[in-house]
């Protein structure tokens, strides 16, 4: 029995284990092509899991991954999920100029639309990297034909976060819609409950309680995000990575798939477009 009747958004950021921001100082992008991919098999596992539970999801996908795993892109589309952009090579928007970001997003969009044969409406910046320093990114998204973004996390965090920005779906001045990652309020602060590392770290009962709390106190849909590599406990380890990065990346990988499966059963899930009425 579902714990709440509302439709919420299930999202997957499709990137491989060596492409995460936490390892960007350890793995050089020029070496990516020499590393065996695991993202294809892991994403197929997630698609199987979603099919078993009759769940549709939005897949924010790297253009780099799409070029190398076109079968994954075609399956995402063919099985009724939403295909969206996560940029080209997981470079944070805060590290690029306007021209560089335009080229990054355009290349990703062109690759995904060519392989998937669908028009993309959604974009998510790697590591939620739209903030006060680069609000011009929304003009780029608008120019390239996107309808919405889910690129902000209104929390305090050492790698990202805009705690003073809106917590719920809103429209930017140029008409683009921004859908922040969900938070709950605790002692005057925003606490992240959107998924990923927080979901792996906390016991499932605590995450479920916080999601239920969000649903009891807010009328907005809830959205959840995670990555294919988070269900892959057998992925190669980078021993030279910083201690904090290793803890964040490797903690509870073996428990993640079971937690996600329970989450699929406890709540109702659909795509970002459907949950937030994006046209």
3-state SS assignment for residue 7: strand
75 and 118 Cβ atoms separated by less than 8 Å: no
CA dihedral 229, 32, 106, 13 (to 10 degrees): 0
Span 206-233, average pLDDT = 96
- Predicted TM-score of the model (pTM): 0.96
pLDDT of amino acid 191 = 82
Q: What was the pLDDT predicted at 92?
A: 95
What SS3 class is residue 245? helix
- pLDDT for 29-59, tens place per residue? 999 999 999 999 999 999 999 999 999 999 9
pLDDT reading at 266 higher than 80: yes
Q: How confident is the model at residue 75 (pLDDT cuts 50, 70, 90)?
A: very high
Exposed, middle or buried, 240 (CB in 10 Å: 0-12/13-18/19+)?
A: exposed
Q: Percent of the chain scored above 70 by pLDDT? A: 98
Q: Which CATH class, in words, describes the domain spanning 7-275?
A: alpha beta
Specify whether the CB–CB gap between 20 and 196 falls below 8 A.
Answer: no
Asked if residues 177 and 171 have their Cβ atoms less than 8 Å apart, the reply is yes
pLDDT for 58 equals 99
Asked if the model's pLDDT at residue 190 lies above 80, the reply is yes
Instruction: Provide the phi-psi class of 175: left if phi over 0, else alpha when psi is between -120 and 50, else beta.
Output: left
**Does 137 score more than 90 pLDDT?**
yes
221 versus 188: the higher-pLDDT residue is 221
pLDDT score of 197: 86
- What's residue 198's pLDDT? 85
Comparing 80 with 194, the larger pLDDT belongs to 80
CA separation for the pair 168, 172 (Å, rounded): 12
**pLDDT band, residue 241 (cuts 50/70/90):** confident
Each residue's pLDDT tens digit, 91-126 = 999 999 999 999 999 999 999 999 999 999 999 999
Considering the chain, what is the average pLDDT of its residues?
Answer: 94
If one counts every other C-beta atom within 10 angstroms of the C-beta of residue 90, the result is: 24
Map out the domains of the chain as residue ranges.
7-275
Confidence of residue 161 (pLDDT cuts 50, 70, 90): low
Q: What is the DSSP letter of 180?
A: P
Which range is least confidently modeled, 7-16, 197-206, 225-234? 197-206
157: pLDDT strictly greater than 80: no
Measured N-to-C along each axis, helices 39-52 and 70-78 cross at an angle, to the nearest 10 degrees, of 10
Q: What is the mean pLDDT of residues 218-231?
A: 97
**77-81, 139-143, 227-231, 245-249: least confident range:** 245-249
């Amino acid at each position: 029995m579902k714990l709440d009747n509302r439709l919420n958004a299930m999202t997957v950021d499709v990137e491989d284990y060596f492409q995460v921001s936490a390892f960007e100082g350890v793995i050089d992008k020029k070496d990516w092509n020499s590393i065996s991919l695991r993202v294809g098999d892991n994403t197929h596992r997630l698609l199987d899991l979603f099919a078993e539970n009759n769940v549709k999801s939005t897949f924010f996908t790297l253009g780099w991954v799409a070029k190398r795993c076109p079968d994954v892109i075609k399956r995402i589309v063919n099985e009724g999920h939403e295909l969206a952009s996560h940029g080209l090579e997981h470079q944070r928007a805060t590290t690029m100029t306007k021209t560089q970001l335009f080229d990054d997003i355009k290349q990703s969009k062109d690759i995904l639309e060519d392989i998937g044969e669908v028009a993309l409406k959604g974009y998510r910046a790697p590591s939620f990297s739209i903030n006060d320093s680069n609000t011009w990114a929304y003009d780029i998204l608008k120019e390239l034909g996107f309808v919405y973004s889910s690129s902000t996390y209104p929390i305090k965090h050492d790698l990202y976060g805009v705690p003073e920005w809106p917590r719920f779906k809103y429209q930017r001045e140029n008409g683009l819609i921004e859908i922040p990652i969900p938070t709950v309020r605790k002692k005057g602060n925003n606490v992240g409950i959107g998924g990923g590392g927080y979901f792996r770290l906390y016991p499932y009962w605590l995450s479920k309680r916080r999601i239920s709390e969000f649903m009891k106190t807010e009328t907005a849909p809830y959205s959840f995000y995670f990555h294919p590599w988070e269900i892959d406990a057998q992925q190669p380890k980078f021993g030279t990575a910083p201690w904090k990065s290793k803890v964040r990346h490797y903690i509870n990988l073996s428990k993640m798939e079971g937690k996600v499966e329970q989450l699929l059963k406890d709540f109702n899930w659909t795509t970002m477009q459907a949950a937030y009425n994006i046209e």
